[in-house]
Structure 1
Amino acid sequence: MTAAPVASTSAGPVPASVRAAADWSWRVLLIGLALAVLAWLVVQVKVVVIPVAIALLLAVLLGPVVTFLHRRARLPRAAAVALTVIGLVALVVGLLTLAGTSLVHGIGDLWSQAAQGVEKVRDWLATGPLHLSDQDVQSWADRIKDLFSGSGGSSSLVTGVLHAGTTVAHVGAGTLITLFCTFFFLLDGRGIWAWVVGLLPRGSRERVHQAGRRGLVTLGAYTRTQILVAAVDAVGIGLGALILHVPLALPLATLVFVGSFIPVVGAVVTGAVAVLVALVAQGPWAALFMLAVVLLVQQIEGHLLQPFLMGHAVSLHPVAVLLAVAAGSFVAGIVGALFAVPLCAVLNTVILYLHGHDKFPQLGHADHVTIRERGHPILDRSIEQFANTPDPAVGPSPEERA
C-alpha cells in the first residue's frame, strides 16, 4: 500500500510578497542597467546624436513651411526644402550678426563701467563695516584669480587652447550634420521612417507607426510652443532693458531666447545676467527695475504661458518637468537639460498609446486629409505601405514573390 502523494504548495518558507518583490527588483535593475548603458552610449557619440536631435526638431518645425511652398507656391519639393533651409541659415546668421555687432559696440562701455563698479566695491570694502585693507582685498582677488585660472602654468594654457580648438571643430561638424540631416528629413522623411518601421516584425509595424505619429505631433507642439514662450521672454526682457537704457539689450534678448529653451533653469540664469548687466551699467536702481521686469515676465510665463500652452502641448506635470531637467543636466549637462522635456513628452505620448491611452484619438488609424494638412511629411505616410514591405527576417511574402 503506497502513501498518498503530498500536495505541492507554492507558499514555501518565503512569503509570496517577498518573491514578487524579488521578481520586480531584478527586472527593474535590469531595465535600469539597460538605460544606463544606453545613456552612456549616447554621451559617447553625442557629437552625432545632438545634431540629429536638433535636426529632427527643426524638421518638425519647418515641415509646414515646406508643405506651403510645395503645395501652394507650386515649387518642387527639393527646391522648397532647399529654400527653407537656406532661409533658416540666413535668419540665424542675421540674428547672430546683429547681436554680435551690438555686443562689439557695447562691450567697451560696459567694461569701463564694470571697472568703475569694481572700484566702488573696493572702496566700500575699505571704508565700510568690514574695513579691509588694500592688501586684504588684493589677496582675495589673487585667490579668486588662481581658483579660476588654475596652477598648471603653460601646460594649462596649451590644454585650454587645444580644448577650445576641439570644441570649435565639434561645433562646426555638428552644424554641418544638423543642416545635412534637416535637409533630408524634410526631403525624404517618409522614406526614412518607412525604412525604420520596415526593420520591425510585421505584426508590430502598425502600432509603432501609430505611436510614432502621435509622438511626432507631441514633438511639434512642444517645439512651436517653446519657441513662442522663448520669444515672449526675449521680447519682454529685451524691451525692459531698452526702456531702462541698459546696454547690450539685443544680445541680452538673444541670450534670454536661447536660455528659455531650458525650462525652469534657463529663464532664471538669463534673467540674473540681465539684472547683473543693469547693475554694472546703470547702478542699483536700474538693477532693481530690471529685476522687476524679469520677475514680471517670468510670472507671465509661469502662470499663463506654461500652464495653458506648454501643459496642453506636452501634458507633463511641473514636478515631472523639474525632475526631467535635473536628470538631463546630471547626465549630459546643458544639452541634457535642453532635450529632457521633449524626450519625456514624446515617451509619455508613445507609452500611453502603447498601453491603450490615446492622447490623439482624432488621428485615427489611417492618414486622413486632416493629418496631411498638418504639414508633417512622416504623418501622411499610409500604414499599408509599411504592411506591404518585406519583413527583413523572413523575406518577401509568397504574394510578393509571385
Structure 2
Amino acid sequence: MPPTAGVRWLRPRPWGQCVAELPYGVGNGRMLSDLSPWADPFFCQEVRLSRFERVRGRLRRAYQSSRESVPADQDAPGDAPEPARVASPSVPGPSAPPSATVVGAEPQVDLHTSTSSRDDADVPHGLRIAAAWCWRLIVIGVVAWALLRIVGTIKIVIIPLAVALLLSALLAPAVGWLLRARLPRSLATAVVLVGGLAAVIGTLTLVVNEFIRGVPELSEKSSEGVRQIQNWLKTGPLHLSDTQLNRYIDEAQAWINDNTSKFTSGALSTAATLAEVLTGTILVLFATFFFLRDGSRIWRFLVRLLPVAARWKVDDAGRASWQTLGAYVRATVLVAFIDAVGIGIFLVAFDIPFAFPLAALVFLGAFIPIVGAALSGGVAVLVALVDSGPVTALIILGAVIGVQQVEGHVLQPLIMGRAVALHPLAVIIGIAAGVVLAGITGALVSVPLIAVLNTAVRRLAARTVPDTPPDAVVVAAQAP
C-alpha cells in the first residue's frame, strides 16, 4: 500500500508543505506536514486540531463547569437573565452563551456608579421636580424684571405706541371700507385719521362748554344740597349733632389747607410735563398714521427677523392677536357708548347739571373695565347728591348699578364673545399693575394687553399646525 493510501490531496504546495484531508472520523481533519507528498504516514498523522475546535471544547467545558457551580435554590436563567460576559480578546470565536463564564473574561463594569448618579438617586423625585420648576421660574422672573425696567426707562415711547395700536385697531375697519371704495391707501388713512381727530376735538369742545355753563347752576344748588345733607345727617340713622358736624367740617378744611402745597406742586409738575404730553400726542398721531398705512409691511419685516421655522407660527399668533385686539377695542367702544347713553338719560331726566360732561366721563371710564365705569358712575352720584339731595342720588345710583349689570351680563358676553373674555380677577390684577407701572395710561392699556397675550400664548402653545406654508409670511387683511 503506498504511503499516501487513504489520503486525498487537496492542492499542491511548494516542496516540503502539503495540505491533505484525512479519512478518519466524521469530520474532515486538516494535516499540515513539512514532508513531501510521499512521506511516512506516522509523521502525517501528527495533526493539530483547528483553533475553532479548541475554542469549542473550551467553551463546552466552561459551560458545564458553570452549570455545576450554580446553587440549586437560585432562579433559573430564564427567570432572571444576566448579561453576557465579554469574551477574552485573545481567544477569537463565537460569543459565549448568556449564562457561561468565559475563562479569562474581563470583569463587568458598572456604567452608573458615578457620584452624581448616586446623589440624584438620594434626592426625592418630588424635590427634584420642585427644584427644576424653581430655577425656571427664577429665570422668567429675572427676564420679566429686566423688561419692566426697560419699559419704565422708555415709557415716553412705549405708551404712545401702545395708544397708537389701540387707535389703529379701532380705525382699521374704516380704512378698509375706503380702500374697497378705490381710494389710495395714503388718502384713506389720512381721511380716517383727520375724521377721528375732528370727532375727538368736537367732543371735548362740547364737554368743556357744557361744564362752563353748568358751573354757576351747580354753585347755586350746591348750598341747598349741602343743607339737605346736613339735615339728613342730623335726622337720619346717624343722628349727628351740630357740634360733631362742625368738628368734621373743620377737620376737612384743615386737611385741605394742609395739602394745598401738595396740590400746587402737583399742578406745577403737571405743567412741567406738558412738553412730554405734547411729544407723546404727536408720536401717537404719526404712529397711528403709519400703522394704518404700512402695518402689513411693518409686520412682515418683524416676522422675517425670526428663524424660518418659527415664522409661520409667530405669524399665525400675531394675526389672531390682532383680531382679538380689534374685537376688544370695537366692543369696548360700543359698550362704553351704551353705558354713556343709559346713564345720560337718567341724568337728563332728573335735571342733573353737567349731564353731557358726566355722560362723556362715563364713556371714557368704560375703557377701564369694572373699575372705570364704577368710578365715573360714582362721580355722577356725587353730583346728583350735591345738586338734588340724597333721594335723587339714590335713584341715580340705582341707575348706574343697573346699567353696569346689563353691561357685565349681557353686553360684554354678547358683543365681545368668548374669544376676548377675561376673568374678572385677571382684569383687576392687570388694572392694578398698570396703575402702579404707568398710572391712568397703564390702566387703560393693561386689559387689552392681557387679552392679546392670552390669545398669542394659546396660539403659540397649540399643537395644531397653521395652514400657512413655512416659506410664506401672510399678514391679516385688516392689519394696521
TM over 0.5: yes
The Cα offsets for residues 136-192 of structure 1, whole Å up to 9 and x where unpaired, read as 355313332135324x7xxx74x4343121232222211111110011111111121
- CA distance in 2 between counterparts of 1:322 and 1:59 reads 25
Distance 1:110 1:167, change over 3 A: farther
Distance 1:271 1:265, change over 3 A: same
- CA distance in 2 between counterparts of 1:162 and 1:231 reads 34
- CA distance in 1 between counterparts of 2:448 and 2:218 reads 37
Is the partner of 1:345 in helix, strand or coil?
helix
More displaced stretch, 330-339 vs 42-51:
330-339
The Cα offsets for residues 268-293 of structure 1, whole Å up to 9 and x where unpaired, read as 11111111111111111211211121
- CA distance in 1 between counterparts of 2:463 and 2:323 reads 15
For residues 224-239 of structure 1, what are the structure 2 equivalents within 5 Å?
A: 224-239=330-345
- CA distance in 2 between counterparts of 1:81 and 1:66 reads 6
Match of 2:468 in 1: 365
Is the partner of 2:183 in helix, strand or coil?
coil
| 2:224–2:387 Cα contact (<8 Å) kept | no
- CA distance in 2 between counterparts of 1:316 and 1:103 reads 36
Match of 2:425 in 1: 319
Q: Which of the pair has more CA radius of gyration?
A: 2
The Cα shift of 1:319 comes to 3.0
1:141 aligns with 2:252: yes
- CA distance in 1 between counterparts of 2:202 and 2:250 reads 45
**Unaligned stretches of 5+ residues in structure 2:** 1-105
Amino acid of the residue matched to residue 348 of structure 1?
N
- CA distance in 2 between counterparts of 1:289 and 1:123 reads 19
1:213 aligns with 2:319: yes
Is the partner of 2:279 in helix, strand or coil?
helix
RCO (CA 8 Å, sep 6+): is it higher in 1 or 2? 1
More displaced stretch, 130-139 vs 203-212:
130-139
| 2:365–2:376 Cα contact (<8 Å) kept | yes
Distance 1:40 1:250, change over 3 A: same
More displaced stretch, 301-310 vs 209-218:
301-310
Amino acid of the residue matched to residue 335 of structure 1?
T
The Cα shift of 1:375 comes to 5.1
The Cα shift of 1:109 comes to 1.5
| 1:126–1:132 Cα contact (<8 Å) kept | no
| 2:193–2:289 Cα contact (<8 Å) kept | yes
The Cα offsets for residues 3-53 of structure 1, whole Å up to 9 and x where unpaired, read as 854743454332122122112111101101211221232233222111111
| 2:163–2:445 Cα contact (<8 Å) kept | no
Question: How many pairs are equivalent?
Answer: 364
The Cα shift of 1:351 comes to 1.0
Match of 2:389 in 1: 283
Give me the TM-score of the superposition, normalised by structure 1: 0.82
Match of 1:102 in 2: 210
Match of 1:14 in 2: 123
More displaced stretch, 114-123 vs 177-186:
114-123
Larger % of helix: which? 1
Amino acid of the residue matched to residue 126 of structure 2?
S
Give me the TM-score of the superposition, normalised by structure 2: 0.70
1:253 aligns with 2:359: yes
Give 2:478's match in structure 1, choosing from 365, 373, 376. Answer: 376
Distance 1:114 1:168, change over 3 A: farther
Distance 1:126 1:237, change over 3 A: closer
- CA distance in 2 between counterparts of 1:319 and 1:202 reads 38
- CA distance in 2 between counterparts of 1:117 and 1:43 reads 45
Is the partner of 1:173 in helix, strand or coil?
helix
Give 2:200's match in structure 1, choosing from 71, 82, 92. Answer: 92
**Unaligned stretches of 5+ residues in structure 1:** 379-402
| 2:434–2:443 Cα contact (<8 Å) kept | yes
The Cα offsets for residues 37-74 of structure 1, whole Å up to 9 and x where unpaired, read as 212322332221111111111112211211211221x2
Give the superposed CA RMSD. 2.7
